[in-house]
Amino acid sequence: MNNVLKKPEWLKIRVSDIEQIEETANLIRKLSINTVCDSAECPNLGECFGKKTATFMIMGNICTRRCRFCAVTKGDATPLDPLEPERIGQACKEMGLKHVVVTSVTRDDLDDGGAGHFVRVMQEIRKNNPQSTVELLIPDLAGNWEALKMIVDAKPEILNHNIETVPELYETVRPKAIYKRSLQLLKKAKEFNPKLITKSGIMLGLGENEEQVLKVMDDLRSVDCDILTIGQYLQPSTEHIELKEYIRPEIFEAYKQIAEEKGFKYVASGPFVRSSYNAALGLEKINK
């Protein structure tokens, strides 16, 4: 039985600047671009669109995996759109983005997991908006390290791959993912380019305990991960994995302090934190 927990006061959204939200949404629709903000039902959509930012989601809006926490549609993926990189580049120029975050659905149907498409998108962003920095939030590429090297060689300013949860919950939360493979991806990325800034994130509220969370931090530091994000899992529907607990803001703050003590160069931790939320702040702090 799925018991619906009452949302606490600290998780209630207050939206402002409706006109800017609509302007950003209209631009994204005009260019036929998918955003993780829409597809993953991000609670920060209003704030980000209101600040004229968005996280672009490439390679369609249908994911080939069936992670039980995610609101993105699952099923058979559509063919890659060869004009999508150009439209992303145009959107970055029109929005005047200083820091661009690009993610994707998981494309296990593609030999390179979509690595080549990521690279083409980066090329168009830099062609159209050369002053912007680029952050890529990539899937695990099914462990194809040659594909990973292709992405790393394109030199994004930040390479992000989310661990999502503690390994003890992978079987129920991420049944097609492998915890050690995700760690290996972050390790390999650093081996390919030791100067690359790497990033990962986890959700809380799925039934994990403190000891497990701290072990994930240690595992990420063991592969020299630079940036950590910690946020609250919000159950998209009764069909998704059950929310076990709302984590209080002071617990997020405590985890932030612990993570900083463990050596992460930047930590964002809070109920509304998502891996791409206010993403430019991490780069700004590291580059100071």
Residue with tokens 């606490």: 8
All domains in the chain, ordered by first residue? 16-286 (3.20.20.70)
Amino acid, res. 17: D
Strands (E) in 141-221, as ranges, are 158-160, 197-204
Query: In the prediction, which pLDDT does 36 show?
Result: 54
Is pTM beyond 0.75 here? yes
Residue 144 has what pLDDT?
98
Q: What are phi and psi of 246, to 5 degrees?
A: -90, 125
Contact of 223 with 199, CB cutoff 8 Å: no
Strand residue runs (E) in 213-274? 227-232, 266-269
Q: Put residue 278 in one of left, alpha, beta given phi > 0 → left and psi -120 to 50 → alpha.
A: left
Supply the pLDDT for residue 39: 44
Q: What is the pLDDT of residue 72?
A: 61
Residues of the chain with pLDDT under 70: 1-4, 12-18, 20-21, 24-25, 31, 36-53, 65-74
> How far apart are alpha carbons 86 and 130 in whole angstroms?
14
